[in-house]
Amino acid sequence: MNKTIYFIVPYPFQKAPSQRFRFEQYVEFLKSQGFKIEIHSFIDESTWNQLYTENNTLVKVSGILKSFLNRFKLLFRLKKADYIFIHREASQVGPPIFEWIIAKILRRKYVYDFDDAIWLPNYSEVNARFQKLKMYWKVNYCMKWANQVVAGNQYLADYARQFNSNVVVIPTTIDTIYHHNLTTNPLPEKVSIGWTGTHTTMNYLDDLIPVLKELSTKYIFDFIVISNEKPNYDLDNLIYIPWNKDTEIEDLAKINIGVMPLKDDAWAEGKCGFKGLQYMALQIPTIMSPVGVNKEIVESGVNGFLASSPEEWKIILEDLIQNPTKRIEIGLAGKLTIDERYSVLANRPKYLALFRK
pLDDT tens string 324-338: 999 999 999 999 999
Neighbouring residues of 251: CB distance < 8 A, sequence distance ≥ 6 = 196, 224, 226, 241, 243, 244
Over residues 28-45, the mean pLDDT reads 95
**Pairwise CA distance, residues 324 & 330, whole Å:** 10
Per-domain residue ranges of the chain: 3-170, 191-342
Q: Cβ distance 330 to 337 under 8 Å?
A: no
Q: Which CATH superfamily is domain 3-170 in?
A: Glycogen Phosphorylase B; (3.40.50.2000)
For residue range 172-218, list pLDDT tens digits in order. Answer: 999 999 889 899 998 999 999 999 998 888 999 999 999 999 999 99
**Pairwise CA distance, residues 325 & 285, whole Å:** 11
- Domain 191-342 carries which CATH code? 3.40.50.2000
In this chain, the answer to whether the domains covering 3-170 and 191-342 adopt an identical fold is: yes
The answer, yes or no, to whether residue 51 has pLDDT greater than 80, is no
For residue range 223-267, list pLDDT tens digits in order. Answer: 999 998 999 999 999 999 999 989 999 999 999 999 999 988 877
pLDDT at 239: 97
Provide Rg for the chain, Cα atoms: 21
